[in-house]
Structure 1
Amino acid sequence: MELHAVGEAVESVSRTYAAKFDLQRTDEWFMLKLQEEVGELTQAFVDLNGMGRDRGLSGDEKREAFANECADVLAHLLLLARSQGVDLPAAVEAKWLRCGTAPTTDTGFARQPH
């Protein structure tokens, strides 16, 4: 699915969810929800990589939880960007894909080792 279409679908789901639970989707709500989801992604990463206490999850369950939290972060990033009038696919293209090639030292985007 194309990112604009994903954003529109996520917006529809979010609007329905907010109406069902009587939530006000303010600018602050969008930002705080993204932060909440990043925290949950961090916890899923910790679990997936065996850096936390045993929660009784199998490896497959840990991978599924991590994938689900990645999806939540992407969805809430799309919602936040949309709420602020940012066309995220266009911004990614302008920021990351403008050269048409992988980032290199020639473009000032040297990949950092970790």
Structure 2
Amino acid sequence: MFAKNGREIRVVRGRTVTLSLMELHAVEDAVESVSRTYAAKFDLNRTDEWFMLKLQEEVGELTQAFVDLKGMGRDRGLSEEEKREAFGNECADVLAHLLLLARSQGVDLPAAIEAKWLRWAEAAAPPS
């Protein structure tokens, strides 16, 4: 069964998964506030290009953290726990900067996720 309630997607097939896309809007708001404060503190002009290039910078840092996590680069003296934490932190940075870029371009990311990905939620649910 697949039910929609506003932007809430509920998939029921032996288990229940609920995702409220409206919560993503709240995360966007918080990330925007932090970014705006950071930009003011360091006198940064958050242009369209800045949002795109900052995301690219963070993807590069995520790639480096992945290389470290998988032991594919030089030894930086980090423990496995530190490598995993660094990877998680870089994942968070990429997500935050993706949210900022999307917002700067007027993209309603929760709506786009619903239209592009969650329309397949029922088909992807495990059979009961």
2:29 corresponds to which residue?
8
- Equivalence for 2:87: 66
Number of residue pairs matched by the alignment = 104
Gaps of 5+ in 1: 104-114
Show structure 2 runs of 5+ residues with no match.
1-19
How do 1:1-114 and structure 2 match up within 5 A? Answer: 2-103=23-124
Q: Name the SS of the counterpart of 1:28 in structure 2.
A: helix
% identical aligned pairs: 87
| Aligned-residue CA RMSD (Å) | 1.5
Secondary structure, aligned partner of 2:71: coil
Q: Which has the larger radius of gyration?
A: 2
Whose strand fraction is larger, Structure 1's or Structure 2's?
A: 2
Structure 1 outlier segments of 4+, above 2 Å: 99-103
Q: Specify whether residues 58 and 30 from structure 1 end up closer, same or farther in structure 2 by C-alpha distance, changes over 3 A only.
A: same
TM-score normalised to the size of structure 1?
Answer: 0.87
Q: What is residue 9 of structure 2 aligned with on the other side?
A: none
**Deviation larger for 90-99 or 55-64:** 90-99
Q: TM-score, normalised by structure 2?
A: 0.78
